[in-house]
Amino acid sequence: MATEKPPDPTLSVGTERSEPVRAPAAKRPSRGRSVAAVICLVLAALLTTPAAIAFWGQRTLNDTTRYVDTVAPLVSSPEVQDAIATKVTTAIEDQVDIEALLNNVFSGVITDRPRLQRLVGPLSAAINSLIDREVREFLASDEFADLWTAVNTRAQQSLQRLLKGDESGAISLQGDQVVLDLSEVINRVEQRLVDRGLTIVKNVPIPDVDKQIVVMDAPQVRQIRTVYAFANPVAQWLIVLVAGLYLAALVLARRRPRMTVIIGAVIAANALLLALALTVGRQLFIDALAGTTFGPASAVFYDTLLAYLDRGRQVLFWLGLILVAFGWFAGPNRIGTAVRTTVTGGLEGIGGALADSPVGGAGRWVAANARWLRVVIGLLGVVVLLWGNDVSLSRLFWSLALVVGLLAVVQVLVGAGKAPPPASPPIAPAGTVPSTAK
């Protein structure tokens, strides 16, 4: 009977070598997640500029208090005062022919003394100068400042009615022009002149067209009404939607530091786009009012009305740059890694030195919850930035300083929590006598 040969170890080895050992497949990130992150980023990029404009409109044009606070500085603007003074003075002088009145009053006297005719011109100029002086003194007074607030309060309410289709009020649409009614200003000036003895201007019939000042040409106002009807209900939530899209893109991203850099670049680019839109709009606004009474004041009016939006544009630009810098330092690059290691090590070293104090106990809790604490600190910075809807560069830098300071405190506490607890003194066995005892 033939004996069975034992298996050749060399063959078994060879067989084993011929079959490569398969490592367990690494779990790859979902492709759908990356696609979703890109979609959120693209949507946020497209909606950032419209959301900023909608947020400005919602907070400025729809809010009476904010609108009045926005246009309040115009009351002391020389250009605006000059435009209103010119309109009011011209409206009164066009209806009161001072020279004709003087000729009528002095008609019999001039016939007897022809030389008095020479006084009609200077007297007429003096009276017209008095009217102009009274108008400008009134515009520089506290009385006009109070009237300006009241007029603009009604103007904002009239603007809301105008956008909704009601053309009555202090601001109205006449043809293709948006006009501001100055009837109350003219009435106040006439009363001041009467009180100073110039009774000839009392009850002067001034046509309505002479009591109005063209604020802007608006051939597209009816289209704007349609846009307003659809956009106004969602305007206040659009900025929240954009922020949510950016946050979703960051959470879904496979490489979050890189996504942070991209988000920052997109926000900065939108700030530049918004600056371009404001510049173009400013020039179109000035050109539309060139040659009108309000023309010289159009630039200061535009700049003042859109000051809040321009501040928001500056905040967006600097926020974008901050995010780019933060994402770059958080990424896997040599300089960023070195900076993170140095800063983190230094802060944790400070915390380690405090491990023996009560800080150590708090540090262990912070070390266990550091991730969520950092998220809460980031949200706190957003709240500080947007509190009161008064977004500005100073508010941005204060909120940034608050976030950086709190993150540094968290890192110090993390260092205190990571430090090993102090070793307790050894306990002597029972029955032993300390060496110091004699």
Q: Is residue 353 in some structural domain?
A: yes
The verdict on 336 and 386 lying in the same domain is yes
Q: Which domain holds residue 379?
A: 234-418
pTM for this entry? 0.70
Q: Is residue 44 situated within a structural domain?
A: no
In a domain, 35, yes or no: no
The answer as to whether 122 is a domain residue is yes
Q: Based on the fold, state whether residues 397 and 279 are members of the same structural domain.
A: yes
pLDDT, residue 134, reads 80
Residue 268 belongs to what H/E stretch? Answer: helix 256-289
Tens digit of each residue's pLDDT (9 = 90 or more) over 144-171: 888 888 777 877 777 676 666 555 555 5
- Number of domain units in the chain: 2
Distance from C-alpha of 319 to C-alpha of 199, rounded to nearest angstrom:
61
Residues 340, 393 within the same domain: yes
| pLDDT surpasses 70 at 294 | yes
121 and 156, same domain (yes or no): yes
Average pLDDT over residues 131-151: 81
Residues 241 and 186 in one domain: no
Residues 291 and 312 in one domain: yes
Tell me how far apart the alpha carbons of residues 212 and 171 are, in angstroms, rounded to a whole number.
9
Q: Supply the pLDDT for residue 10.
A: 47
Cα torsion 219, 221, 226, 232: sign = positive
Mean pLDDT check: name the lowest of 176-190, 309-323, 354-368, 410-424: 176-190
CB atoms within 10 A of CB 303: 16
Amino acid 26: pLDDT: 45
Say which amino acid occupies 328.
W
Rounded Cα distance between 86 and 202, Å, is 19
Same-domain pairing of 175 and 294: no
Check residue 383 and give its pLDDT: 84
Token digits for 353?
């030195």
In a domain, 301, yes or no: yes
Residue 28 included in any domain = no
* pLDDT for the residue 268: 95
Q: Looking at per-residue confidence, does 185 or 172 come out higher?
A: 185
For range 270-289, the mean pLDDT: 89
Q: For residues 276 and 51, is the Cβ–Cβ distance under 8 A?
A: no
Verify that 207 and 326 share a domain, yes or no.
Answer: no
Can you name the residues that pair with 217 across neighbouring β-strands? 177
Domain end residue (candidates: 224, 243, 275) = 224
| 263 contacts 249 by C-beta, under 8 angstroms | yes
How far apart are the C-alpha atoms of 337 and 34, rounded to whole Å? 25
Nearest to 379 by CA among 407, 412, 347, 344: 407
CA 297/CA 74 separation, integer angstroms:
9
The CA distances from residue 159 to 168, 178, 228, 250, in Å, are 9, 10, 12, 40
User: In this structure, are 283 and 210 located in the same domain?
Assistant: no
Residue 267 within any structural domain of the chain: yes
Which of 206, 224, 242 is the last residue in one of the domains?
224
pLDDT in tens, 46-98: 999 988 888 887 777 777 788 888 888 888 888 888 888 887 787 777 766 66
Give the containing element (helix H, strand E) for 181.
strand 177-181
> Of 192, 224, 256, which closes a domain?
224
Give the Cβ contact number of residue 202 at 10 Å: 11
Q: Read off the DSSP letter of residue 253.
A: -
Based on the fold, state whether residues 161 and 245 are members of the same structural domain: no
pLDDT at 12 over 80: no
Is 158 inside a domain boundary? yes
pLDDT value, residue 418: 73
- Dig out the tokens for 388 from the structure: 């009161």
Q: Which residues pair with 172 in a beta bridge?
A: 179
One-letter amino acid for residue 360 of the chain:
G
- 253-261 mean pLDDT: 90
Q: Are 210 and 258 members of one domain?
A: no
Tell me the C-alpha to C-alpha distance, in Å, between residue 197 and each of 129, 203, 204, 275, 378.
Answer: 15, 14, 15, 52, 67
Clarify whether residues 276 and 390 are in a common domain.
Answer: yes
